[in-house]
Amino acid sequence: MTQPTDWQLPMRPGNLESLDLRECVRLLASRPVGRLAYCGPFGPRIVPLNHTVVGEGLLFRTSPDSDAAREIPHHWVAFEVDDLDDFLQAGWSVQVQGFAELLPLESLRLLDLPQTPQPWAAGDRSLVVRIPLTNVTGRRVHAS
């Protein structure tokens, strides 16, 4: 009889739950990093970014010289935030889809918004991108 080298739970399918908008927004705001997905000149791109939820929008900052600043204004994009537990085989995922709108950082100061996302990466991140929270979906899988 062979002994397993690592103890692990047996693979069991979990229960899948669709999340309502309120829970999706709460989960989006609970994590500081998500992933932006967009189409660039050489195909799909996925980029991890710091973000925040303010009012009816998801905001993140980018450099005026970045691919994102050139490729996403007024284009359909997706932003995903998730949390997974490999051991329990459980987790959640929330996705926001919408047209990206670029806002200069100065315009946010004039609007007196309470917070802007604080990028972990150094450098000029003076453009703020807003994706409206009008097309939001989320799912959670519970361990069986």
pLDDT at 116: 63
Nearest to 23 by CA among 133, 143, 144: 133
136 φ, ψ to 5°? -125, 130
Query: Taking residues 27-37, what's their average pLDDT?
Result: 95
Confidence (pLDDT) at 54: 85
pLDDT tens, position by position, 35-81: 999 998 889 999 999 999 988 999 988 888 888 888 898 899 999 99
The reported pTM is 0.81
The yes/no answer on whether domain 15-142 falls in CATH 3.90.1720.10 is no
Range of weakest confidence among 36-40, 96-100, 107-111: 107-111
